[in-house]
Structure 1
Amino acid sequence: MTRPGKKRARAGSGVRVGSRQEEPGDGGADEAVAFIAEQTEALRKLAERHKLDVLHYLLGMTQLEADEHLRLRTKRKLS
């Protein structure tokens, strides 16, 4: 049983609760956003195939947000 106010990490998630430090070998925020965009695209296609309209829409918005984040990060690095 967990104590109130404490969050439990899922088993095997590899995420340390309460820590914002990156794991060794982690590619950082840019790599995470690229991964999210890629996975979201696959999930969006699955939702569309099964006519899950609201999920399809929300995953599309998530994908747009991830793509925009990557675009802005790339633009900042070029300047």
Structure 2
Amino acid sequence: MGDEAGGEGGPDDALVLIAAAATELAKLAQRHKFEVLDHLLAMATLEADEQLRARNRRKLS
């Protein structure tokens, strides 16, 4: 089965989608002045980006 499950993309695709969704949700939270949600969603975006960078570093080594 490898990195893909249920016909969905692999982990890298999931991380890209999560980062994009969290970014858009953070914009919505900002617009409505939901400061804590904005902060948490920004953290989720950063974490997804970091996970993707870490996966890419492992692939290069």
TM-score range, shorter chain: 0.7 to 0.9
| Aligned residue number for residue 29 of structure 1 | 11
| Aligned residue number for residue 52 of structure 1 | 34
Q: For each residue in 1:10-35, what CA deviation from the matched residue of structure 2 results, as whole angstroms up to 9, or x when unmatched?
A: xxxxxxxxxxx7112x2111111110
- State the one-letter code of the partner of 2:23: E
| Aligned residue number for residue 70 of structure 1 | 52
- State the one-letter code of the partner of 1:23: G
**Structure 2 segments unaligned to the other structure (5+ residues):** none
**Greater per-residue helix proportion:** 2
Q: Of the two, which has the highest radius of gyration? A: 1
Secondary structure of the 1:43 match is: helix
RMSD, aligned α-carbons? 1.2
State the structure with bigger RCO (CA 8 A, min sep 6), 1 or 2: 2
**Structure 1 segments unaligned to the other structure (5+ residues):** 1-20
Offset of residue 78 of structure 1: 1.0
Sequence identity percentage: 52
TM-score normalised according to structure 1 size: 0.69
